[in-house]
Structures are given as C-alpha cells and as structure tokens.
Chains A and B, each alone.
Chain A
Amino acid sequence: MLLQRVIGLVVADPKAEELGGVRLAVVEPLGADLAARGKRQVAVDTVGAAEGQMVFTVAAGPARAASGMAGRPVALAVIGIVDELAGLDAPGTGKAGKAGKGDR
C-alpha cells in the first residue's frame, strides 16, 4: 500500500460498463518526507476522499478486493483516508516528528 494525496478528480463518459458508478480520483504518491514524489495516477475511490486529503491506496489484484470492486477492471483503489500519522521519524533529522491533523 502507498501513502498518496488526492489532487484531483476525473470524469469519463463513456466508461466500461463494469466501472459504472465509480468515483475516479487523481492521486500523487508521497515520499519518505511526505512530499509529492513519483507518478500521478488515477484511482477508484471507495471511501469518498476529498481533494487534498492524504490517503492510502492498494494496487493491482488487491485493488479488486476493495469494497464493491470485485470483478471490475480496477488497477488502483483508494481504500482509506489518513486522519493522522504518528511517530514518524522526521526524515533527514533522525528525530521523531509528527505529521497530520495535529497532536493528540
């Protein structure tokens, strides 16, 4: 699974029948420093993530294990919205840091 950020939305018509009703999000992978890094792709979104939210995604065969995606031509799925990351080592500093919606 990868940590990614939702940066946009895609609307397609016509779509393969098997993709009827799915929501399509543009996602961008995040690196160890939580900065955008790597190839932006389109994922089906099964959890209703909004633009700007940090999410985790699952790719390939397992993407079709996401709720409602069995038997559909889905190669990448958003399966969770990240509320908070805790205990993350701040990259490059060797120190523990925090990223997300604030302290708890």
Chain B
Amino acid sequence: MIIGRVTGRAVSSRKDEKLAGAKLLLIEELDPEGAPTGDLAVTIDHLGAGAGDVVLVTQGSAARFTAPTKDRPIDSLVVGIIDNIRLDGRETFSKSSGFARAGKRR
C-alpha cells in the first residue's frame, strides 16, 4: 500500500457501468516523509477523502476486497485517511499539522 495526497477529482461521464457513481480522486504519491514520488493515480474513494487529505491507498486486486468495490474494475482504492505517521521514532506527519519538513533521512 502507498501513501498519497488527494490533489483533485476526475470526472468521467462515460465509463464502465460497474463504475457508476464511483468517486474518482487524483492522488499524488508521497514517500513517508511527504516528498512526492512523481507518480499520479486515479483512485476510487468511499471514505469521503477530500482535497489535501493524506491517504492510504491499496493497489492491485486488493482494491476489490471491500464491500463497495467487490467485483468492480478497480485497482486503486483509498482504504484510510491518515492521522499520523511515525518514522524512526519521530512523528513525520499528523493530520492537524501536516508533514514535518526535516529533510531527507540519512
């Protein structure tokens, strides 16, 4: 699973019928310290994530293993809105204050 930030929404009026009603988010992948990796994903969300939220995204067939995504053509799904991240014993992210910009590890 990866960490990402919601940067926007994709709107698609003509899509697979099994995606009817699905909310499509644009998610910029982040490393655990908050630096963008350069990858962007179109991701389904049923948790109510909004712009700027830092989220946990599951990928591949795992994305179909929730009640609302079962048997749908989905390979990327928001499975959590992240409260905090701790790395090497220190908090690098919290929902209230964002990422601590402490530079690169090592």
Binding site for B on A (CB under 8 A): 7-19, 24, 26, 36, 39-44, 51, 60-61, 63-64, 71-76
Q: Which residues of B contact A16 (CB under 8 A)?
A: 46-47, 66, 77-80
Residue of B46, B56, B84 with highest tally of chain A CB at under 10 A? B56
B56 touches A60 (CB 8 A): no
B100 beta carbon closer than 8 Å to chain A: no
Which of A7, A15, A75 is in CB contact (< 8 Å) with B80?
A: A15
B7 beta carbon closer than 8 Å to chain A: no
Q: Which residues of A contact B27 (CB under 8 A)?
A: none
Q: Which residues of A contact B46 (CB under 8 A)?
A: 16
B89 touches A51 (CB 8 A): yes
Which of A24, A61, A63 is in CB contact (< 8 Å) with B56?
A: A24
B80 touches A13 (CB 8 A): yes
Bitwise, B24-63 to A at CB < 8 A (1) or not (0) is 0000000110000100000000111000000110111111
